[in-house]
Structure 1
Amino acid sequence: MDEIDLIILKKLIENSRVTYRELGDLVDMSVSAVHKRIKKLESDEIIEAYTARPSAIALKYLSVLIFGTSNAKSVDAVSKELGQHESINFIGIAGAKSLTISAVLRNISELQELSIYASNTAQISEPIVGIVNEPYITTPEPLTSIDYKILKTLNRNSRKPVTDIADDVGLSTKTVRKRLDRMIENNLVDFGIEWTLKAENNLTTT
């Protein structure tokens, strides 16, 4: 794994539906070379899934991040336990012990309880807690039942082609593309990845 892989990972975390062509332009590589690198990240179990979830804006939730170094013996076990919490939607592991915990809360009053839970479970002595967004009172165009059907079929494979999505939900490709564009334009969906960067995934630099 090298710095180019990290650039690709970062872009996929921001938007897992980014095209191979866009990634290739970003790292100055061919589409086939980028595709090969992503397949390697998948086979090495660094990329575990491509996700699609309603955004905190769509849910009118408060989005928060918790960072820290875990003192637990098994970070993988801690990650699985944290993942059972209803508010936590993402756990990233970097190196051997560094954790990034993402969560969505119904209101600010839940933040202290979540911080204590995450700190105790992950054995983080000095967590850094950040609020990503203020909760939105209203959204210009809330998610519809059709939107939720689309997100459901993209749940573990958000890079799925539009034609496959259309087949899954029984809609035309034109309608699916229009609904996806609307969700993206209004920041109603988060396309990302579930990933783990373990100690054995050594980073090489040039």
Structure 2
Amino acid sequence: MDAIDLTIVELLQGNARLSYAELARQVGLSSPAVHERVAKLESAGVIRGYRVDVDPDAIGLGVTALIGLVQDSGADTDDVLEALRGMPEIESCYFMAGVESFLCRARVGTIAQLEQVILRLNRTAGIASTRTTVALSTKWENRPQSITS
């Protein structure tokens, strides 16, 4: 990736709806040249997708929790991950160094729903224990990193 590719990625992180014409204007290339660069960034896996950023409160998902999971020593990691993927309440999952094997972010509408998620996790084969922290509010998340400076 060169400096122009990095600038294109940063511009799209700020607004994924920018037109090729607007991207071209900002990086000093033609629209077809920018279109070709974006296609290459997509095929190389640099750009993984385009998403709508929805306010969780507005769609009834006002409770956010971070749940640390300790995996059983004999458990198969792929089986645990498959079970976690099957839980729509879990938005993200990170493999961790340390005592906890995974850290997951879950969103639900109520504390009672969070309780049900935790109970399901604790009954999941391969999970030895959980530790849950409830977020009181979200100050920011998914902030794009500056890659051109």
Residue 115 (structure 1) aligned with residue 118 (structure 2): yes
Choose 1 or 2 for highest CA Rg.
Answer: 2
Aligned to 2:57: 57
Shift, 1:107, TM fit:
0.8
> Is the Cα contact below 8 Å between 2:71 and 2:129 reproduced in 1?
no
Q: In the alignment, which of 73, 76, 87 is matched to residue 75 of structure 2?
A: 73
Extract unaligned runs of 5+ from structure 2: 1-12, 15-40, 144-149
Shift, 1:123, TM fit:
3.3
| Higher RCO (Cα < 8 Å, 6 or more apart) | 1
When you count helix as a share of all residues, which structure comes out higher?
1
Secondary structure of 1:103's match?
Answer: strand
Query: Can you list the C-alpha shifts for 1:64-100, whole angstroms capped at 9, x where unaligned?
Result: 1110221152212211221111211111112497111
> Is the Cα contact below 8 Å between 1:64 and 1:133 reproduced in 2?
no
Secondary structure of 2:115's match?
Answer: helix
Higher mean C-alpha deviation, range 52-61 or range 111-120: 52-61
Aligned residue pair count: 100
The within-5 A match list for 1:90-169 is 90-95=92-97, 98-121=101-124, 123-133=126-136
User: What is the Cα-based RMSD across aligned positions, in Å?
Assistant: 3.8
Distance 2:50 2:130 in 1: 26
Extract unaligned runs of 5+ from structure 1: 1-16, 19-38, 136-185, 193-206
Identity of counterpart residues, as a percentage?
A: 14
**Letter aligned with residue 56 of structure 1:** P
**Letter aligned with residue 103 of structure 2:** T
Q: Structure 1 runs of 4+ off > 2 angstroms?
A: 49-60, 94-97, 122-126
Shift, 1:115, TM fit:
0.5
> Is the Cα contact below 8 Å between 1:64 and 1:129 reproduced in 2?
yes
Change over 3 Å in CA distance of 1:91–1:133 after alignment to 2: same
> Is the Cα contact below 8 Å between 1:67 and 1:98 reproduced in 2?
yes
TM-score (norm 1): 0.38
The within-5 A match list for 1:38-57 is 49=48, 52=51, 53-57=53-57
TM-score (norm 2): 0.50
